[in-house]
Structure 1
Amino acid sequence: MVSGLDDVVAAETTLSDVDGVAGKLVIRGRPLAGIAGHLDFESVVTLLLEDLVPGLPQGEALRAALGKARLDVFSRIAPMMDQLARLDIYDAVRAGIAVLPDGIAPDDTLRLIAAPAVLTPLMLRLAAGQRPIEPDAARRHAADCLAMLGRHGEDERLACALDTYLGTVCDHGLNASTFAARVVASTRAGLTSSVLAGLGALKGPLHGGAPGPVIAMLDAIAAEGDARVWLEREVAQGGRLMGFGHRIYRTRDPRADALKAAVRQLGVSPQAAERLAFAEKIEQTALSVLRAAKPNRVLETNVEFYTALLLEAVGFPPEAFTCVFAMGRIVGWIAHALEQQRTGRLIRPQSRYIGPICAEAG
């Protein structure tokens, strides 16, 4: 038996390829470097779904249809706002998505893609005692999400950075949440059911729930003043340095470089530039500490480190980071769910019983 199913091939896919040895990520035949910073979110949706969703709009028609879907989600959620506001933000986003129709038509697909980008800023504003801002179907997806957060009219580079992030995390092989989505899809359940499975898996701190603690780590180091002392103490006490190490990559996570470049392009204020310089110093010190303490393990920078910096810079608080992760990854979940239904069987692996066997009575 292979613990954790490492190296077990559970599906064949045309969606993404993760080369952990070489540190490469390919999405639909395109290297990540040709996607991150080059394609807006609508183009990423087309890239992943165009041959899986018959009748999917293209180009400007897709932008308009996705904008209409955001309005649809907002109107469906409006009667539930007070109830959702009683939950923490991730549970509120998940609960809001759970009420959406469980179909597989283009409208169902776009509604699901729109949902996290509507629900996340909506819940953040409600938590802050602010009035919700309705979507604007004329805006592109990333810009409208920031506008709903209350950042309309700010530097266009913020929306471009969010576009880069959403494209960078849109798909990543058969990770835990994507596998969960494919398992549910293999039963022929609808897309909402598959997405909810992905959301459930993403909540765990070993998967998408980790970027927020990177900010806490950086703030704790800043408060202490000596990065090396803080990091060495954390490692010596058996703690995990957030933003370092990955289950698949045996070298640097290519998504970290894509997001680092996006953060650098965001240098719109001395404060942002200072934050980036501080984080880069912590990154290099942490890598040095890890190599000295664990010379037999490959613990390089992963996607979480610069995710935290980018999302903080564009205006999201740490408690919303996993929700923003879901904004991008939801397209991959949907693509995998549709691919599974088109090409795969019911996923039903075997288990091996290792418990006791009681003698029969008599």
Structure 2
Amino acid sequence: MRDQEPASGRPGRRLSTKETAEALGVKPETVYAYVSRGQLSSRREPGGRGSTFDAKEVEALVRRNRRESSVRSGSGGELSVRTRITLIDKDRYFFRGVDATRLAADHSYEEVAEWLWTGRMRAGVTFTAPKAVVAVVRRAVDALPEHTAPTDRLRVAAIAAAAEDPLRFDLSEESVLGTARVLIPTLVAALPPQPYAHHHDDGPLAHRLWGRLTGLEADEASLRALDTALALLVDHDLAASTLAVRVAASARAHAYAAVSAGLGVIEGPLHGAASGLAHRMLQDVLERGTAVPVIADELRAGRRIPGLGHRLYAGEDPRARALFALLERVPRAEPALLAARDVVATTARHTTLHANVDLALAVLTVSSGMPATAGETIFAVARTAGWIAHALEEYGERPLRMRPSGHYVGPRPPQPLPE
């Protein structure tokens, strides 16, 4: 598929809504969104059935969109994509202009997800999955080996859910949002319940997820911490997994496939799996009684200290700060909190590295009797909502715009054929 060429700029020529939409590479309804924002002017011709648009004005908008919306080189050579979802600025981050930590403190994960998707708050909303879909997904996931990692289970669950959905190729906003509201609880339902856990199949998502991460009884403070962790992690601008999702959506992959792309990237030790490394470090600190030998061993092995520092925040990660504050209200979290503070204080003797959300997640998972993979699972479930938000945004952009050019550095042609 080729990108659409700009409309011809012949003087006085006017384009129909359909022609304008094709030139811009958008849906017809998006054309009228441009009109409402003052980016295009329309005119209804006498006796005509629809609006028309000035070809030169359309061509100018095409050029501007290509300049502003396409993936381009930003400061430091990094990729930059225009988005209205998340802003990270001065050790704070915002969802659609609203302080994200305040949103997570005052609203459930599902409510924050709805805000991210639509810019509207739906108080008390919960996500549920049809029993028939859950049954199909569980059969697929149950066929996996017992030692299968949770993220592998989530990927298989997303594929199985897609195969069961005949409307998956409908990329309209209404259809994609319907997919999201079913897919997220389906992912949770695909995780095996923990032994002796009292698990729920309804109610807030955090309550359903708890029994699939630990066999310990849930108290209100711990459930609040888990729900807030999900809301805090729902999105974080163009992280590696989110960029993968946008590339998939740019090629018009359906929402399940876009989420699968994100799940594939999230397993990296520098992304979603980072909390597992912090989890094991905290367990080591608790067993040895001090962070000093643990930190020394990490540095001797040439590894960076997990759970410390973040390239987007000069100070403490605001997500960590918010989650630590909630964990202080959980009595059984005190030993892990003290271990985390010991890690921060020990490394501060030589360099100032603040705690990031991976360390806070590790305190939650260690103190709740969860496995080391639990942080990655929480991260993946939470971030699915953010991936859907970015996929929706990308579906409204010009198709295949995520197509950077390669900088070839191999042998210059023509080279002789290999013998």
Query: Which TM-score tier does this pair reach, normalised by the shorter chain?
Result: 0.7 to 0.9
Q: 1:73–1:356: structure 2 CA closer, same or farther, 3 Å change rule? A: same
Paired position in structure 1 for 2:78: 8
In 1: Cα distance, 2:91 partner to 2:139 partner: 46
Paired position in structure 2 for 1:275: 336
Q: Note the C-alpha offset of 1:215.
A: 2.0
How big is each residue's C-alpha offset from its partner over 1:19-49, in whole Å with a ceiling of 9 and x where there is no partner?
2xx2111111111231232211121121111
Question: Which residue, out of 104, 118, 136, partners 1:76?
Answer: 136
How big is each residue's C-alpha offset from its partner over 1:34-83, in whole Å with a ceiling of 9 and x where there is no partner?
123221112112111125xxxx99444x32xx12x164542222323431
Question: Which residue, out of 74, 92, 98, partners 1:30?
Answer: 98
Three-state SS of the structure 2 residue aligned to 1:100 is: helix
Kept in 2: contact 1:203–1:209 (CA 8 A): yes
Q: Give the alignment's Cα RMSD to 1 decimal.
A: 2.9
Q: Note the C-alpha offset of 1:264.
A: 0.9
In 2: Cα distance, 1:150 partner to 1:237 partner: 31
In 2: Cα distance, 1:153 partner to 1:231 partner: 32
In 2: Cα distance, 1:90 partner to 1:141 partner: 18
Q: Any residues of structure 2 matched to 1:92-111 within 5 Å, and which?
A: 92-101=153-162, 102-103=168-169, 104=171, 105=175, 106-111=177-182
Kept in 2: contact 1:74–1:135 (CA 8 A): no
Kept in 2: contact 1:232–1:289 (CA 8 A): no
How big is each residue's C-alpha offset from its partner over 1:289-332, in whole Å with a ceiling of 9 and x where there is no partner?
434xxxxxxx3221110111113334431123212111111100
Kept in 2: contact 1:74–1:134 (CA 8 A): no
Matched residue type, 1:264: E
Q: Which structure's residues are more often helix, by fraction?
A: 1
In 1: Cα distance, 2:380 partner to 2:361 partner: 13
In 1: Cα distance, 2:285 partner to 2:229 partner: 25
Asked whether 1:214 is paired with 2:278, we answer yes
Structure 2 unaligned blocks of 5 or more: 1-71, 163-167
Question: Which residue, out of 232, 247, 259, partners 1:195?
Answer: 259
Asked whether 1:44 is paired with 2:44, we answer no
Give the ranges of 4+ consecutive aligned residues of structure 1 lying more than 6 Å apart after TM superposition.
Answer: 2-5, 131-134
Q: Number of aligned pairs? A: 334
In 2: Cα distance, 1:329 partner to 1:213 partner: 19
Three-state SS of the structure 1 residue aligned to 2:313 is: coil
Q: Note the C-alpha offset of 1:144.
A: 2.1
Q: Any residues of structure 2 matched to 1:1-362 within 5 Å, and which?
A: 6=76, 8-19=78-89, 22-50=90-118, 58-60=122-124, 62-63=125-126, 66-67=127-128, 69=129, 71-86=131-146, 87-101=148-162, 102-103=168-169, 104=171, 105=175, 106-120=177-191, 122=192, 125=194, 130=195, 135-137=200-202, 139-147=203-211, 154-267=218-331, 269=332, 272-291=333-352, 299-346=353-400, 347-361=402-416
Structure 1 unaligned blocks of 5 or more: 292-298
Q: 1:57–1:227: structure 2 CA closer, same or farther, 3 Å change rule? A: closer
In 2: Cα distance, 1:345 partner to 1:5 partner: 25
**Between the two proteins, what is the percent identity of the paired residues?**
30
User: Between Structure 1 and Structure 2, whose CA radius of gyration is higher?
Assistant: 2
Using the size of structure 1 for normalisation, the TM-score is 0.82
Kept in 1: contact 2:141–2:157 (CA 8 A): no
Kept in 1: contact 2:207–2:223 (CA 8 A): yes
Using the size of structure 2 for normalisation, the TM-score is 0.72
Matched residue type, 1:136: D
Q: 1:3–1:50: structure 2 CA closer, same or farther, 3 Å change rule? A: closer
In 1: Cα distance, 2:414 partner to 2:392 partner: 47
Q: 1:311–1:73: structure 2 CA closer, same or farther, 3 Å change rule? A: farther
Q: 1:78–1:115: structure 2 CA closer, same or farther, 3 Å change rule? A: closer
In 2: Cα distance, 1:213 partner to 1:9 partner: 28
